[in-house]
Structure formats: structure tokens, C-alpha cells
Chain A
Amino acid sequence: NPYAGLVSRLRAAWLTGKTRPMEYRVAQLEALGRFLDEKKQDILEATSLDMSKPSFEAYFSEVLLCKNELNDTLNNLSCWMKDEHVEKNLVTQLDSAFIRKDPYGVVLIIAPWNYPIHLLLVPLIGAIAAGNCVIIKPSETTKNTEKLVAEALPCYLDKDCYAVVTAGVEETTKLLENKFDYIFFTGTPTVGRIIMTAAAKHLTPVTLELGGKNPCYVSDNCEVHNVARRVAWGRFFNAGQTCIAPDYILCSVEMQDKLMPALREAITEFYGPNPKESPDFARIVGDKQFRRIQALLGSGRVAIGGQTDEQERYIAPTVLADVKASDPAMQEEIFGPILPIVVVANMDEAIDFINARPRPLALYVFSCDNKVVREVLERTSSGGFCGNDTLMHVTLTSLPFGGIGNSGLGKYHGKFTFDTFTHHRSCLHRNMGLEAINCPRYPPYNQQKLGLLTAAFEIKRRGMCTLL
């Protein structure tokens, strides 16, 4: 196996205990901060070359949000690392009971291409903070960013404990044959299954950040212009290549008529009359993806946009009207700048439509009536939920970010990333003395001992009295 040597080298480094002291972890995290500061321009350039990512978007998602996570971690690391003392019962009153935060060991992070720095660094921050050694595998699809990460990142991090591996599909398969102590994967559900199957061979725990079609229900009672702006922003950010982008709209036919001009206005406001010329609109990452998304344009009717340019991999911000559930655009996660509108009669029909499909990573509801927002929230299931906006729930580091069912398992961001890469080890440190207290548990057994044990162990239901 071509990577066996690398993995054992990192495992040997792990066994020396080098990555465990807080000072070491802080030093590595601060180095990551310097990477973000010093290589900021390179990051903006690389992502621009890879997919024409607008510099504002790149700065916001690839740099700013990462710094946020970094600072949150540095601010709180000593607190997160501490033994967590827990509530004791009668029997353990004189003992020390706590949860020790143990690193897992050698972990693997596999990042996707849509936010190639963010979706690599944010898990990495947590993995380092938790005291692990890490193998980092950036996406091979975004070649410039991959090169930047492979060349620059090792200059900032301790090469003994952190390694960057560049690999395509075949090499990644070989990489996965090795034993890791944790695997963090962001990507499609199909590959997620492959990762988890490979992990099962070694009983490696995993976090899978996957995707799906994120529904966006717009009720009749809403502020149309605000809805249009917030939805358009979420949909067309990164040319739609966002796992939590609103994938399709559900609304009444009247609302569709009201939304259309508002969406048109918002798109013009954002990207000007010809989005192709706007520096703020990205491109599709590759030819294969371009062709896949282009094929979805045949769904419903093109109400806004629809223009494409294969050479530039440009697909205009597009809104499709009257899309049916059977249309191609409703069969797969769009992951492109196309927003289908599916007409439903009312909220109940929208909820049924959503619940008939795999659970999405994100769910959006727009309504001026808080009761509507609440009802959709309570009658559906999704990884995360945002009422009256899109994407924003993932910018709060205090909210765990993850999917459910097909959209993923596990969660991260903020302390949740640290917890993801930490084994919460239960520790009970007992007293060697006071052996008499233990006597009821020893054989030979009798009813009297049992009574004592019951009294000592049993948690009684409030307001009830049990006579044994």
C-alpha cells in the first residue's frame, strides 16, 4: 500500500505524545492562523482560477469564516480540554467522576472542491485542537487550491504530525485501506457510503457531511422583496455549488407570480443586467459538472436566465417556473445556479412533498407568520433549519452543523468540531478505603444486601414511594 509508510510514520509520531500538550496544539493552530493571513491572496487567486470564485465570496467563506472558527477554538481550547466533572450518585459521592478528553490518534480529513479551503481547514482546526495527528486530503478537482495546500500548508504545520496527501479516486481508495482512528468526509452520499464501508473494516468512527435537495417553502404571507434577495443570495452564491443552498422553492401559484419579478430584480441588483460580466458571479468547477447542470435546464420553463457558455463554464442565474416533481431538476441535488419553483396548493402539501423525500441537509421557510415557520419546523426533519433566511445558520459556531439520514451523520463547527475528534472517556477514581460500603455488592447474596443496594442505587421517581 503506497500510504502505509506515511500512516505508520504519523502513528509513531502520535505514540510519542507530541500532539497532546496544549501549548503544542496552540502553536499549530496559531501557525494555521498565519497561513490564513499570509496566504490570503494566494487563496483568493487559487479559488478564482479553479472556479472563478469572486474575491468577496472567497474572502467571506474561505478566510473569514475559518478565522472565526480558529479564534473561537483558541479562545476556548483550555476550557474544552479540561476534564469535565459529572454529577455523582449516592454510591460515588466520595469519588472523582469526570470525562477525560482523549484524542483519537491518527485521523483523516477528506475535503470537497466547492469550498476547498474552508471545508478542509474547519475540520482540521478541530482535529488539531483535539490533539490528533492528521492526514489531509484536499480535493483533486480544484487543482490550484490543491497545489496551494500541498505546497504551503506543510510549511506552517509540524511535518511529523500533519501530512497533506494529493490523490485522485484510485489513490484515495488505497489510502482508505489503511487504519485511521477517525475519518471526516465532506462530499456526496454515494462516496459517503464507500467511505463508511471502508471505515467499517477497521471500526473507524466517521463524520459524513453529505447533501441532498434543500427545500425552501415560501408562504403567501411574506415580504416578497426580502425573500427574493435572501433566496437569490443563498442560491447563486458560488454559482449554486453550496451543500446548504436552497435547492428548490415550494410555493403557491400566486406567490410564484409575485416572486418572479422580485427574483429578477434581486439578480439584477446583485450581478447587473449581464451576470456573465459581473466579477461577483462564479463559474462551474468542471466540464463534467457543467454538462450535468446544463441538462437540468429542460425542466419546467425558463423564466429567468437560462443562458450558458460552455467555454467559460458559465450558467446564468436561472429560475425555472412550474417545475414538476418528475422533472430532471427534481431528481438530483442541483449544485448549480438553477432555482426551480414547484407549485403547491398550501403549506400542508408543501410539508407532505418535503416528507416524501430523503431528509435534506437544510430546510428553509419564509413567512411573516411565525406560526407557519414553527409548524413547518415541527412537522419536518432536516439536518439544520433556517427560518426567513438562507445559509446563515452555519455561520454561528454555537450551532452544530450536520445532516441526517442521506444528508449525513455527525456534526461540527465550534466546540462540536473539537468534540467530533475527541473520545469522551469516562473516568471514575474511587477511594481505596471505606471498603465496608462495598459489602452489599459481594456474594454471598441475600435479600438484606439487595435491599441496601436498591436503596443506594435506585433513582426514585419523584412523588413515588417504593417499599421493597
Chain B
Amino acid sequence: GPNAYGHELLGVLGELALATAQLPAWAAPRRAKRNLLTLRDEAFVRPEPLGLVLVIGAWNYPFVLVMQPLIGAIAAGGCARRAAGRAARGAAHRAAPAGNAVVVKPSEVSEHTARLLADLLPKYLDPELYPVVTGGVTETTELLTHRFDHILYTGSTAVGKIVMAAAAKHLTPVTLELGGKSPCYIDRDCDLAVACRRITWGKYMNCGQTCIAPDYILCDPAIQAQVVENIKATLREFYGDDVKSSPDYERIINKRHFHRVLALLEGQKVAHGGEADEASCFIAPTILTDVSPDAKVMQEEIFGPILPIVPVKSADEAIELINSREKPLALYVFSNNKKLINRFISETTSGGVTANDVIMHFFLSSLPFGGVGHSGMGAYHGQHSFDTFSHHRSCLIKDLKMEGTNKLRYPPGSHKKVAWAKFFLLKRFQWGRAGLVALVLLGLVAAVLIKVSLA
């Protein structure tokens, strides 16, 4: 319903419109600043397609996590000229790339979307260039033995390592969008009602199965009870008194994850929720209080509708706890105190940050979306997708006729030549525009002088 449209389709439509509008600008050669020696030359960076790209999607947002990379990969292909007669899959890409070819591998866990993509995409895109490959672990492992020019994988840290190791055999660059436990710090000095509403939205959307969902809360024990009350109130607002019958509350993707998530409740203080129904893979929105950092629920990414609250006595303690763990995909901090927010950002690291809200940095395509450390490498969205799937080829085109200044670099070496080399090459200080003009003239004079002196 509107949920899927909002989360899956809107974003894709936006990226499509952006890519279509901006493509000429993104694909244009980018002029590079020249030095004295190259002032008369052409220096630019040419974005070129990489060739054969593999996009492996995930099951939590099965459509958008395949389509957004696909858009970037196609966009980076420049004008859609056909790579005539070349099978996209497994092809040893040799000739000048006319555009990227993309192998799309949707997650087999979200099997209906996978089937949909396999049926529909070939009706709109050339299946020779953009084939959809369906299958599970075996098929994906086979696929990864082939050589690609870039692999974008969205999924777990464990599989991310496998993908990178496979890519290493072919020296294939990778973009890995992984996960982790995204911390969410709530300061005592903040509008608690608003903060909790926003957190509730981000946490329980898609039944908690969002890579950038706030995984756990860090806050002062004094406000813990209020946080719980606020979230409970918001949950009622969002899903009504009977969550199970709300059309807007999702389910866990399958039995395996259902059991995995449920097991995290073991030994925990359930302040709200906890109900579950295996038949429909339903787990109620759940809040845990007074959770210890050593608890099982704090050892792995929850990826479910369970929100642990870990009490911390200060921002220092929160920052220390965050830094003692793997780098998360997202970091959230709620506070009216701008200085505190800056402190959190400066003293930690993460893929991305949203302050005073959750999730939202994902929706601004001018911000590169990606992880760091165990939460991933590389980034995409908007122009960053285009750049990810392009090779930025440096080009310098010189004049063949004027030998002039080249003479100072040829052997036999001499002190005189060293002095000239220093003059022309060494960046001593910033040149202003006017200085540059003066240098051009000086350079031309020098070129003539050198020609005369070395003749």
C-alpha cells in the first residue's frame, strides 16, 4: 500500500528524475587546473563506464535496493549505445565500453519481488545488457566467480567479507552497503515527545528491518521511563490499540529471522510489547529497559522491532560505548544543545549521521550514502551513484609540435636544468589569477630562453 510506495517507489522515481536531468552535467569531462608547464595543454577528467557491473540486492527493501544502484550503473554508461553482440553475463569485457552492462541479482529471500523483477525488467530493458539473475546462495557464489568491473552489494557484514574476497581474485572494486548497530543518544535537554515520535517512526518502520534503523537507545536513567511512555503513546497513535490488526505494521520476513529476533528477548526486561505469533511472523513493537551492553541483544544488529534502552550516565559514557564497538552505518543524537551534537559527531565515526531525527540523511541524494569499517565501504545515491559506477580517467593532451620546455627534462642532466625544473614545477605558494597571467608570459619567455640556451 502507501507504505511500500513511500519507501520503495518514491525514492526510485526521485533518483530516476535526478539522473535523467543531471546526466549531461555528470557525464561531461571535468576540466582540471593546470600548472605552468601544462598551461597550453588540455587537462581533464573523463567519466567513463566501468563495463560490467553486478548489483546484489537485499530483502528488506527489495525494490529500491536493486533499482537505485541500477539507475546509477546505467547512468554511468553515458549515451545508451549498444555493446553489439556481447552477452552481458560473464563476458570478458574488452572493447571500449559503450555503456555499463548490469547483472541484477535480487535477494531470493524476498522471492515475490525477485520474480517480479525477473519478469518485468526484461520487458523494459535489453536483457542482453541488463539480465536479472535469480537464485540463492549457490547461484550467487557461482556468479561471484566471474569477473566484474564493479560489484555493489547490500546485505550483512558476514557476506560482505565473502563478496570482497571473491572480488579480490579479479581486483574488482566493490561498494558494500552493510549494517551494524546504529546507536541513538537522547540528551536530557531535548523535546522528548518529538524525539520519541521520530525514533518510533524510524525504528518500527518495516518492522525494524531497516539497515539505518536506530538499533538501540542510550540515555540517562532519569529519563528512561519518560522515553518508554512517549514511545508507547506514539505507537498507539501510529498503529492503534491493536497493532496486529493495523494495516501499516509489517511482519518479519521469514521464520528464521522471526526466531532469531525473538531469541534476543531472552532474559530482558520487557517494558512494552513482547507478543509474538509465529504463524504470521508477527512480533509486536517491543521496548526493553535497563539493558546491559553485554546482553545478547546488544551483540548483533537487531533488524527487528525490539528497541533496547541502555542507560548511560553521561555523554562521555555514551561516546565511549559507541567507540568501543564496530563503526555503525548510522549514528543518531537528539539534543537542543548544538555543542553536544557537534561533540558526538566529532568524537565518533559512522557511515552517516542524522541529528534530531532518524533515517532522513538517506533521503537527501546530495549526501553520499554508505558505511565505514564493518558497516561498509563506498557510497551511492544521486551523483555519487554515477561516480561509483564510472572510471574517472585522467587525460592530458599536449601539442606535438612545440618541444620548447620539454628540453629541460631530457638528459643529460645539469644544475641549470634543475633550477628551471624547480621554477616550472614547484608549487611554492598560491597563485592568484593575475599572477597566473604574468606567469604565462614569463613561461613563454622562459621557453624561448631555454630553447636558445640549450641549442
Point out residues on A near B: beta carbons under 8 Å.
15, 17, 54-57, 59-60, 64-65, 67-68, 71-72, 75, 86-89, 91-92, 97, 99-100, 102, 104-105, 181, 189, 192-193, 196-197, 199-201, 203, 205, 208, 210, 222-223, 226-227, 229-230, 233, 269-272, 278-281, 351, 355-356, 366-368, 370, 373, 377-389, 392-393, 395-401, 404-406, 408-411, 423-433, 435, 438, 441-447, 449-450, 453-454, 457-462
Say yes or no: A97-B345 contact (C-beta < 8 A), given A203-B373, A396-B396. Answer: no
The answer to whether A54 touches B171, judged by C-beta atoms less than 8 angstroms apart, is no
Chain B window 217-250, contacts with chain A (Cβ cutoff 8 Å), 1 for yes, 0 for no: 0000000000000000000011110000011110
A255 to chain B, nearest CB (A): 14
Say yes or no: A203-B413 contact (C-beta < 8 A), given A393-B396, A409-B171. Answer: no
Q: Which among B10, B345, B412 has the highest number of chain A CB atoms within 10 Å?
A: B412
Residues on B with beta carbons closer than 8 Å to the beta carbon of A398: 32-34, 43
The answer to whether B43 touches A396, judged by C-beta atoms less than 8 angstroms apart, is yes
Residue B1 CB within 8 A of the other chain: yes
Rounded to whole angstroms, the CA-CA distance of A280 and B417 in the bound complex is: 13
Residue B251 CB within 8 A of the other chain: no
Residue B127 CB within 8 A of the other chain: no
Secondary structure class of chain A's binding surface, majority of residues: mixed
Residue B364 CB within 8 A of the other chain: yes
The answer to whether B372 touches A102, judged by C-beta atoms less than 8 angstroms apart, is yes
Rounded to whole angstroms, the CA-CA distance of A27 and B353 in the bound complex is: 30
Residue of B334, B347, B425 touching A68 (CB-CB under 8 A): B425
28 pairs from A and B in contact (CB 8 Å cutoff): A57-B413, A68-B425, A89-B365, A89-B366, A99-B368, A104-B372, A105-B349, A199-B164, A233-B409, A233-B410, A280-B413, A355-B94, A381-B97, A385-B395, A385-B396, A386-B398, A399-B395, A426-B351, A426-B352, A426-B379, A428-B357, A430-B360, A432-B190, A432-B195, A435-B197, A458-B10, A459-B14, A460-B17
Residue of A91, A201, A379, A401 touching B363 (CB-CB under 8 A): A91
Residue B401 CB within 8 A of the other chain: yes
Say yes or no: A432-B94 contact (C-beta < 8 A), given A270-B412, A280-B411. Answer: no
A308 to chain B, nearest CB (A): 20
Chain B window 1-33, contacts with chain A (Cβ cutoff 8 Å), 1 for yes, 0 for no: 111011000110110011011000000000011
A-B pairs with CB below 8 Å: how many?
A: 334
Point out residues on B near A: beta carbons under 8 Å.
1-3, 5-6, 10-11, 13-14, 17-18, 20-21, 32-35, 37-38, 42-43, 45-46, 48, 50-51, 94-97, 149, 157, 160-161, 164-165, 167-169, 171-173, 176, 178, 190-191, 194-195, 197-198, 201, 237-240, 246-249, 323, 334, 336, 341, 345, 347, 349-357, 360-361, 363-369, 372-374, 376-379, 391-401, 403, 406, 409-414, 417-418, 421-422, 425-430
The answer to whether A426 touches B194, judged by C-beta atoms less than 8 angstroms apart, is no
Given A102-B372, A386-B395, 14 extra CB contacts under 8 A: A55-B413, A86-B364, A200-B167, A203-B176, A384-B396, A385-B394, A387-B395, A425-B351, A426-B351, A426-B364, A438-B357, A443-B239, A453-B10, A457-B11
The answer to whether A71 touches B18, judged by C-beta atoms less than 8 angstroms apart, is no
The answer to whether B428 touches A64, judged by C-beta atoms less than 8 angstroms apart, is no
Say yes or no: A17-B347 contact (C-beta < 8 A), given A72-B427, A199-B164. Answer: yes
Closest to A70 in B: B427
Rounded to whole angstroms, the CA-CA distance of A357 and B226 in the bound complex is: 66
The answer to whether A461 touches B32, judged by C-beta atoms less than 8 angstroms apart, is no
Rounded to whole angstroms, the CA-CA distance of A433 and B288 in the bound complex is: 28
Closest to A367 in B: B400
Say yes or no: A428-B361 contact (C-beta < 8 A), given A87-B366, A226-B403, A387-B395. Answer: yes
B390 to chain A, nearest CB (A): 10
Closest to A408 in B: B171
Residues on A with beta carbons closer than 8 Å to the beta carbon of B172: 409
The answer to whether B45 touches A400, judged by C-beta atoms less than 8 angstroms apart, is yes
The answer to whether B401 touches A223, judged by C-beta atoms less than 8 angstroms apart, is yes
Rounded to whole angstroms, the CA-CA distance of A205 and B425 in the bound complex is: 32
Residues on B with beta carbons closer than 8 Å to the beta carbon of A89: 363-366
The answer to whether B6 touches A450, judged by C-beta atoms less than 8 angstroms apart, is yes
Q: Which among B51, B249, B398 has the highest number of chain A CB atoms within 10 Å?
A: B398
Residue of A71, A193, A368, A446 touching B427 (CB-CB under 8 A): A71
Rounded to whole angstroms, the CA-CA distance of A278 and B410 in the bound complex is: 13
B283 to chain A, nearest CB (A): 17
The answer to whether B34 touches A450, judged by C-beta atoms less than 8 angstroms apart, is no
Rounded to whole angstroms, the CA-CA distance of A408 and B394 in the bound complex is: 14
Say yes or no: A427-B353 contact (C-beta < 8 A), given A203-B176, A388-B397, A438-B198. Answer: yes
Residues on A with beta carbons closer than 8 Å to the beta carbon of B168: 193, 196-197, 199-200
Rounded to whole angstroms, the CA-CA distance of A44 and B190 in the bound complex is: 62
Residues on B with beta carbons closer than 8 Å to the beta carbon of A271: 411-412
Rounded to whole angstroms, the CA-CA distance of A155 and B191 in the bound complex is: 52
Q: Which among B161, B372, B411 has the highest number of chain A CB atoms within 10 Å?
A: B411
Residues on A with beta carbons closer than 8 Å to the beta carbon of B391: 381, 404
Rounded to whole angstroms, the CA-CA distance of A175 and B429 in the bound complex is: 39
Closest to A358 in B: B94
Rounded to whole angstroms, the CA-CA distance of A427 and B131 in the bound complex is: 35
Query: What 3 A-B pairs are tightest by C-beta distance, nearest first?
Result: A56-B413, A196-B168, A280-B411
The answer to whether A447 touches B2, judged by C-beta atoms less than 8 angstroms apart, is yes
Residues on A with beta carbons closer than 8 Å to the beta carbon of B38: 392, 396
Rounded to whole angstroms, the CA-CA distance of A431 and B341 in the bound complex is: 12
Say yes or no: A396-B351 contact (C-beta < 8 A), given A15-B323, A226-B401. Answer: no
The answer to whether A425 touches B392, judged by C-beta atoms less than 8 angstroms apart, is no
Residue of B94, B191, B373, B411 touching A56 (CB-CB under 8 A): B411
Residues on B with beta carbons closer than 8 Å to the beta carbon of A280: 411-413
Rounded to whole angstroms, the CA-CA distance of A88 and B367 in the bound complex is: 9
